[in-house]
Structure 1
Amino acid sequence: MMNSDFFHLLYTHIEERDYNNVYQNLKHDEDYLEATKAEAELCIQFENLALSEEERDIIKKWVASIHTQNAAYSMVMFRMAMQCCFSLLMQLGNLE
């Protein structure tokens, strides 16, 4: 038998969120806003550097590879978290 209290608690937590989409949540997340501001400032500094086109191209490719690696890492972590959540739900529901 499932513990309905757990699901009620989860449902209540989700319902108490102010926003139901990523964009609205990001607009109000202080860490995200701070990181976005820092990225914009660094981008301006990068554009003002006296670099050749070849040097700029190498740096841009390097940054792109870091972003690609971070995106792949995030997806692996997301899949692992989802697997953990489904496993927990199966255990709570005695559905093993």
Structure 2
Amino acid sequence: MIDTKIFDMLYSYLEERSDNNVRSQLNADPEYQNALAEECELYQKYENLNLSKEQCKVIENWVDAVTAQNSTYSAVLFRMGMQCCFSLLMQLADLK
């Protein structure tokens, strides 16, 4: 298993850059902005459903599980992409 601390460090670096950082990329990405607007709209609808605390807890746990699954999926794809890039760089270095 790969140590994921390197990915945490990379994320922190990308988040803290003064320009061209994660926030500026997300602000400029129309798909992200549309998804964010949709999330806000759906959350407002959820808040207005007047569900019981138990019902809310079930939905919130479900959303947390889906979010965790999507985050893990994204991290695995990112890791695989980085491995492919490093592998390609190593192959190109041998082609001198």
Q: Same fold judged by TM-score > 0.5?
A: yes
**What are the equivalent positions in structure 2 for 1:1-96 lying under 5 Å apart?**
19-94=19-94
For 1:10, the equivalent position in structure 2 comes to: none
Partners of 2:21 and 2:50 lie apart in 1 by 41
Partners of 1:91 and 1:25 lie apart in 2 by 31
TM-score, structure 2 length as denominator?
0.77
Return the offset for 1:38: 0.2
Which protein is bigger by CA-based radius of gyration?
1
Instruction: Provide structure 1 residue ranges, at least 5 long, that are not aligned to the other structure.
Output: 1-18
For 2:3, the equivalent position in structure 1 comes to: none
- Cα deviation, 1:3-58, whole Å, max 9, x if unaligned, reads xxxxxxxxxxxxxxxx5211001111000000000000000000000211100010
Instruction: Provide structure 2 residue ranges, at least 5 long, that are not aligned to the other structure.
Output: 1-18
- Tell me the number of residue pairs that the alignment of Structure 1 and Structure 2 aligns: 77
Large movers: runs of 4+ above 2 Å:
none
Q: Report SS of the residue matched to 1:50.
A: coil
TM-score, structure 1 length as denominator?
0.77
Give the partner amino acid of 1:23: R
Partners of 1:80 and 1:86 lie apart in 2 by 10
